[in-house]
Amino acid sequence: MRHPEVPESLDSWWILHRMFSFDRLAWDQVAQDEKTQIIEQATAAFNELKNADDTDIGLAQMVGHKADLMLTHYSKNYEGLAHAQTIVDRLAISEFITPQASYVSILELGLYDATGKIHAALAEKGLKPHSEEWIKAFDELLKEQEKVPHHAGRLWARIPQRRYVCFYPMDKKRGETVNWYTLPFAERARLMLEHGKIGRTYHGLVTQVISGSIGYDNFEWGVDLYADDPLVFKKLIYEMRFDEASSKYGVFGDFYSGVQFSVDQFGTYLDGNKVAELNSRLEPAMR
């Protein structure tokens, strides 16, 4: 049975973020020929995950003390996340990188507006809410949302190839006096519409990936932002803090930010003589 107050979503990639510390001093003591073998092994494994149709991987050097390296894994099934985690843990480089944090979620497109329109359309047809006919019609209309060009292009997009990345988890408040989940559906939809308008003013400047994590991790959503200028993160997030959906109902976890780099630059990252580059920005949007 579908609860009338619950907004629907379209789900796609399973996502695993893993943050590591890197023992650079220990790495510097390794002989060059051994370093070469370790780098080649890791690069081959990362390329396998990067080039497959059902997985993707992003690498980023973190800035700050919370982590040194972040790996972002995409998979079309949940087991794929476990597979990617095992592959990385079996690499020789694992002797030098230590897990510090992780986050499990699934990419989602929230459908507040579409859910409201579906409810209205079914009411116009005179279908009894939650009857067998109502549920069948609801599912059919929801399925149509996957065919909307804007939705289809976002559902299976690969990890954005933009230089800078920011990741953070967030909740909606569930307190005794301020509780997002006790607001009427129409009010939540209005707030999310206003919230989304701010994001749209940054169209072209930032690529946003929202993932749901209820049941998978400590927070309810994960947010990834990708941009060609790191200052965009501050401006966007600061502006959104003044929006009621965030200022009154938002709760945020730790923020992680850094620079993305290409798989073939992993050795450059490990050596640390310069910041590893992001070589290719022209990858397919979806496969």
Position 117 pLDDT exceeds 80: no
Residue 102 lies in a domain: yes
Element holding 212 (H helix, E strand): strand 206-212
Mean pLDDT of 30-36: 98
In a domain, 270, yes or no: no
Range 72-76 average pLDDT: 98
Domain that holds residue 25: 13-106
At 214, is the secondary structure helix, strand, or coil? coil
Amino acid letter, residue 260: Q
Please give the pLDDT value at position 283.
43
* Residue 168 binned pLDDT confidence (cut-offs 50, 70, 90): very high
The whole-number pLDDT of residue 284 equals 40
Distance set, CA 97 to CA 59, 68, 70, 189, 206 (Å): 13, 9, 11, 43, 30
Q: Is residue 161 part of a domain?
A: no
**Other Cβ atoms within 10 Å of 90 Cβ, number:** 10
Closest CA to 54 of 32, 37, 76, 25: 76
Catalytic residues, by residue number, are: 168
**In CATH, what number is assigned to the domain containing residue 101?**
3.30.70.1030
Mark out the alpha helices in 57-183 (DSSP H runs): 78-89, 112-124, 132-144, 149-155
Segment 53-65, tens digit of pLDDT: 999 999 999 999 9
pLDDT tier at 264 (50, 70, 90 boundaries)?
A: very high
Residues 6 or more apart whose Cβ sits within 8 Å of residue 120:
none
**Residue 263 resides in a domain:** no
Q: What is the pLDDT of residue 128?
A: 78
The first and second tokens of residue 5, run together, are 């107050």
Residue 51 lies in a domain: yes
In a domain, 69, yes or no: yes
pLDDT attached to residue 287: 34
**What DSSP letter does each residue of 249-282 carry, written as one string?**
TEEE---EEEEEE-GGGHHHHHH-SSPPP-----
Is 246 inside any structural domain?
no
Structure confidence by residue, pLDDT tens digits, 173-218: 999 899 999 999 889 989 988 888 898 899 999 999 999 999 999 9
Contacts of 162 (CB under 8 A, 6+ apart): 207, 226, 227, 228, 260, 278, 281
Q: Answer whether residue 274 is part of any domain.
A: no
What's the structural domain count of the chain? 1
Per-residue pLDDT at 135 exceeds 90: no
Q: What is the pLDDT of residue 278?
A: 97
